[in-house]
Structure 1
Amino acid sequence: MTAVPADAPAPARTVRRARRPVAALVATGFLALVVLAAVFAPLLAPYAPDAVDLSSSLVGTGGEHPLGTDASGQDLLSRVLYGARTSLVAPVLLLALAGVIGVSLGTLAAWRGGWVDAFVSRLTDVMYAFPGLLFVVLIIAVFGTGMTTSVLGLGLAFAPTIAKYTRSVALAERAKPYIDAYRVQGMGGARICVRHLVPNLARSIAGYLVVLFGEALMSLATLSYLGFGAQPPSSDWGLMVQEGQSAIVQGALLPALVPGTAIAAVVVAFNVAGVHLADRLGTRR
């Protein structure tokens, strides 16, 4: 047996594994701070989010305005803190709607099989072939602009993705012996799915939804930027980027840079934390 020196460097694989939790912990800690900032926005914000002060238009960073102001003199720090509420809650509602639809369709397709599975698979394929953003724009054109319509439209657009993932994991779970044991006991298919199959899939589906959160947030911000989502005087981050775009011509970058940075940071943090969580939940399962 060859002796390994005590001061020998660790293998690259070990170092790589050690770095992953650190990045995930940093991302999770950052997200926790963002959530706390959104919850306690009335206490942390120095001004009301809709307080207009034209005399302070496009002011840079300073003691009175730590992150500067926009063209209307509204404090950017206050608007970002309040905007975190809609920017974080809306994706949760979107994924909740998409999760209910997608998990139901995916479980139904995996359990029934046959023509039901084929029909659900073709339906999701058609939804994939149709651009999601265009589908949402069509819904908004019919029902009008607003955050509620955007959440409903994107919820329907995200449902096929969740349905395909649910079907794949449900097929593997359905083949396990305990499913046959419940069938032998005379338990109905609906009862088995609701009480046993879906709960056993919950961990994997939850990890997948966390990974999708960043994409949902970015999609909602895109709709708000295009004028289809949140409407003034909302402090939604996507809308703030759209409103601050005109100030770039005047040399003021902060009105667009501050909310844009917030979006990018939260999306990256959710991707890092979500992938790590999905890996752990998948391993435990």
Structure 2
Amino acid sequence: MTSLHPAVGPAPAVTAGRRPRTRRPVAPTAAAGFLALVVLAALCAPLLAPYAPDAIDLSSSLEGTGREHLLGTDASGQDLLSRVLYGARTSLIAPLLLLALAAVLGVTLGTVAAWRGGWVDTLVSRITDVMYAFPGLLFVVLIIAVFGSGITTSVIALGLAFAPTIAKYTRSIALAERAKPYVDAYLVQGMGGARLCVRHLVPNLGRSLAGYLVVLFGEALMSLATLSYLGFGTQPPSSDWGLMVQEGQAAIVQGALLPAMVPGCAVAAVVVAFNVAGVRAADRLSAKG
């Protein structure tokens, strides 16, 4: 008679003190490594760039790839590799400043709305809803039309446009944090609401907020590049990637694709890398929080 119970073999040996190795996802690791190389290249641009970013050589106009110009030249004979390396500085620092401004405004509004509740929460929610209903690009263009174009105005305008998004996210996680027992314990001890939020509640939101801001970085970079492409952001002779795409667009008619393709690929690669690495970082930070 055949037994219905499977045969039980010897238990596998377990080595004491050893944990099973967990494989890291390849895509986020590769994206993070690529971003690290981009940041390093931006910092070392004076050492890596073969030419000055504003060096004009009309005799080398619209040259293709070669030993003297690895990525070719633009219509003015400027080396594209040098311009991309120097342009990485503006293209990475500007989104960082943008998100810093948006975070200060958004976190403040979201925390106040979650803490105070009532009509304050309703007022902040209605303001953010109105900002969502209003097209973000149109809002930014209106601000630029009033205060003039330039990288400073673009950063401030986009910072104001991103603030409602961060405020909504902050409010949602702050409401959950507000309900935790330690908040009531500090209130019973006589700690004021403002002091409690600054010293305890907001710092406890730090991991979730940091992960969310990493995800938003790629969108901020793309938005600034779009404004520069439209002529509202950085102005010549800057080597900003969005401006380089706009300047290289005319050369496409002459069959020269590199002046627009090189900075365009740089923007696309960095944005995709930030999205891939950002989602992974947000998941890990949220899990630890």
Aligned to 1:26: 30
| Structure with the higher fraction of residues in helix conformation | 1
CA drift of 1:284 comes to 1.1
Aligned to 2:230: 226
Aligned to 2:82: 78
1:168 and 2:172 are equivalent in the alignment: yes
- Does the residue aligned with 2:205 lie in a helix, a strand or coil? helix
Return the letter of the residue paired with 2:57: D
Computed over aligned residues only, the root mean square deviation of the Cα atoms, in angstroms, reads 1.3
CA distance in 1, matches of 2:7, 2:178: 49
Aligned to 1:212: 216
- Does the residue aligned with 1:277 lie in a helix, a strand or coil? helix
Return the letter of the residue paired with 2:151: M
Describe how 1:119-138 pairs up with structure 2 within 5 A.
Answer: 119-138=123-142
Describe how 1:113-192 pairs up with structure 2 within 5 A.
Answer: 113-192=117-196
CA distance in 1, matches of 2:85, 2:31: 18
1:238 and 2:248 are equivalent in the alignment: no
* Structure 2, unpaired ranges of 5+: 9-21
1:48 and 2:55 are equivalent in the alignment: no
Aligned to 1:276: 280
Q: TM-score, normalised by structure 2?
A: 0.92
Q: Indicate which of 89, 95, 98 corresponds to 2:99.
A: 95
Return the letter of the residue paired with 2:226: T
CA drift of 1:191 comes to 0.5
Assess, with a 3 A threshold, how the Cα gap between structure 1 residues 2 and 123 changes in structure 2: closer, same or farther. farther
Aligned to 2:16: none
Assess, with a 3 A threshold, how the Cα gap between structure 1 residues 109 and 256 changes in structure 2: closer, same or farther. same
Assess, with a 3 A threshold, how the Cα gap between structure 1 residues 225 and 187 changes in structure 2: closer, same or farther. same
Return the letter of the residue paired with 1:184: V
Identity of aligned residues (%): 84
CA drift of 1:21 comes to 2.2
Structure with higher Rg: it is: 2
Q: Deviations over 1:21-72 (max 9, x none)?
A: 2111100000000000000000000000000000000000000000000000
Q: TM-score, normalised by structure 1?
A: 0.94
CA distance in 2, matches of 1:112, 1:159: 19
CA distance in 2, matches of 1:261, 1:58: 18
CA distance in 1, matches of 2:33, 2:165: 28
Return the letter of the residue paired with 1:256: A
CA distance in 1, matches of 2:57, 2:7: 72
